[in-house]
């Protein structure tokens, strides 16, 4: 009996188009002898096509497992995961807590710091009323320029700017505030941009990391998806001990936020000191033709199709464990 895999894609976030491209690749990779793809598209207006998943156990008979390919807000932040938990459906990727904690850049940093994992220094600003001015003078005083300004809850570098002076900082704050009422302002790290893929549930493993060589000043949305000018080195050309440290920290980070299934941990390696910093974790990394999560596993010997199948297996394994638990006396 072939398993019916509901692929959720689209969504209300700024990463809508990337989600569509990722989902198309995932559905194309499903072995037709084992799986039936059940595409469920969520429009930018939040409407589901053909119909929403119902938040009741047993109410979705056409679905055996769900593969959320929803990047960013309303998909990678725990909201959809909560729905799938209510529906008692197995699903690929992180659970509710892990998704929400990983999505919020400030809370993610705090969790990492609590167990001694290295993160870039930052301050958090709150927008308050729409249009209210934001004061980042403390960040300037503590870190100097340049600074990175980021919406706390978004992905694919949407709303992120690098500010070199007061004028750019003002514009960066205004841009970030369009996307979130909480803004993270970070010290800029000059060095290497590294990505490391992690796969597994209770015994996660890290792939060999790669280095992103942006065509612009940093790896922004245009560089990721529009320009096709960034270069990638896989494996990253770093000392063996640095590679080993990145893989170790990637697994520790994955465990720290209680991740499961998959995660791509992004790092910055400071050129002047060689120090490794965690930048963020993506609990639903990209699956497009240029996405590095599947490419890193392909380098490790796992094809795109095998990776998709392994993620479905991990989802079913985790669901079986959760179903064995009692939720009442």
Q: If the chain, 329 residues long, is cut into consecutive pieces of 10 residues, what is the mean pLDDT of each piece?
A: 97 90 97 98 96 96 97 92 97 97 96 97 86 85 96 77 94 90 94 97 97 73 59 95 98 98 98 96 91 96 97 97 84
Q: Where in the chain is the domain with CATH 3.30.470.20?
A: 101-118+189-307
Could you tell me the two tokens for 60? 């979705």
And the tokens for 32? 């037709």
End-to-end alpha-carbon separation of the chain, Å? 35
CB distance 98 to 283 below 8 Å: yes
Return phi, psi of residue 32, to 5°.
Answer: -65, -15
Question: What is the pTM (predicted TM-score) of this model?
Answer: 0.92
H or E segment to which residue 67 belongs: strand 65-69
Would you tell me how many other CB atoms lie within 10 Å of the CB of residue 170? 15
3-92: CATH, from 3.40.50.20, 3.40.50.300, 3.40.50.261, 3.90.105.10:
3.40.50.20
- Which one of the listed residues 15, 64, 76, 245 is annotated catalytic? 15
**For residues 145 and 9, what is the distance between their CA atoms, to the nearest angstrom?**
38
Q: Name the active-site residue from 75, 266, 277, 279.
A: 266
User: Beta strand 48-49 with 35-42: parallel, antiparallel or unpaired?
Assistant: antiparallel
Q: Which of 93, 155, 280, 291 is the catalytic position?
A: 280
Q: Residue 70's pLDDT is what?
A: 95
Kindly report, as residue ranges, where domains of CATH 3.30.1490.20 are found in the chain: 122-187
Task: Tell me which residue of 180, 197, 165 sits closest to 301, measured CA to CA.
Answer: 197
- Rounded distance between C-alpha atoms, residue 249 and residue 235, angstroms: 17
Q: 15 with 71: CB under 8 angstroms? A: yes
Does 175 qualify as catalytic in the annotation? no
> CA 107, CA 261: separation in Å to the nearest integer?
21
Options 161, 264, 279, 291, the catalytic residue: 264
**Annotated catalytic residue within 156, 161, 279, 291:** 156
pLDDT, residue 276, reads: 98
Q: Is 15 a catalytic residue?
A: yes
Reading the block at residue 50, the tokens are 């053909």
Q: What CA–CA distance (Å, rounded) separates 254 from 234?
A: 21
In the chain, CATH 3.40.50.20 sits at 3-92
Residue 266 annotated in active site: yes
Residues in the chain, total: 329
Tell me, yes or no, if 280 is annotated catalytic. yes
Let me know if 260 is a catalytic residue.
Answer: no
Active site residue 153: no
Task: Provide the 8-state DSSP code for 271.
Answer: T
Active-site residue identified among 9, 35, 179, 225:
225
CATH superfamily of 122-187: ATP-grasp fold, A domain (3.30.1490.20)
| Predicted pLDDT of residue 218 | 59
Is the CATH number 3.30.470.20 carried by domain 101-118+189-307? yes
Cα–Cα distance measured from residue 275 to residue 287, given in angstroms and rounded to the nearest whole number: 29
Active site residue 286: yes
149, 218, 156, 153: which is closest to 179 by C-alpha? 153
Q: Which of 60, 282, 291, 318 is catalytic?
A: 282
CB-based contacts of 10, cutoff 8 Å, min separation 6: 16, 19, 20, 23, 41, 42, 43, 44, 70
């Amino acid at each position: 009996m072939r398993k019916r895999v509901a692929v959720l894609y689209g969504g209300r976030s700024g990463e809508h188009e990337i989600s569509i491209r990722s989902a198309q690749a995932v559905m194309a990779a499903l072995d037709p002898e084992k799986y039936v793809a059940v595409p469920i598209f969520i429009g930018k207006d939040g409407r589901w096509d053909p119909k929403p998943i119902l938040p009741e156990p047993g109410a979705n008979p056409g679905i055996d497992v769900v593969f959320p390919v929803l990047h960013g807000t309303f998909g990678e932040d725990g909201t959809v995961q909560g729905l799938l938990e209510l529906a008692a459906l197995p699903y690929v990727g992180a659970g509710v807590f892990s998704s929400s904690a990983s999505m919020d850049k400030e809370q993610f940093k705090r969790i990492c710091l609590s167990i001694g994992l290295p993160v870039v220094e930052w301050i958090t600003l709150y927008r308050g009323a729409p249009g209210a001015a934001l004061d980042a003078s403390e960040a300037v005083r503590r870190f100097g320029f340049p600074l990175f300004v980021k919406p706390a809850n978004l992905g694919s570098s949407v709303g992120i700017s690098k500010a070199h002076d007061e004028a750019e900082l003002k514009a960066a704050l205004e841009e970030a505030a369009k996307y979130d009422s909480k803004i993270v302002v970070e010290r800029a790290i000059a060095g290497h941009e590294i990505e490391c893929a992690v796969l597994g549930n209770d015994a996660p493993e890290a792939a060999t990391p790669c280095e992103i060589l942006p065509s612009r000043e940093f790896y922004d949305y245009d560089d990721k998806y529009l320009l096709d000018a960034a270069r990638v080195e896989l494996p990253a050309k770093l000392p063996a001990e640095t590679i080993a440290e990145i893989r170790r920290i990637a697994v520790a980070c994955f465990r720290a936020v209680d991740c499961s299934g998959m995660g791509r941990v992004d790092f910055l390696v400071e050129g002047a000191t060689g120090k490794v910093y965690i930048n963020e974790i993506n609990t639903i990394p990209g699956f497009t033709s240029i996405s590095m999560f599947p490419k890193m596993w392909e380098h490790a010997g796992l094809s795109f199709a095998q990776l998709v199948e392994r993620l479905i297996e991990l989802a079913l394994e985790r669901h079986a464990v959760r179903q064995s638990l009692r939720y009442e006396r």
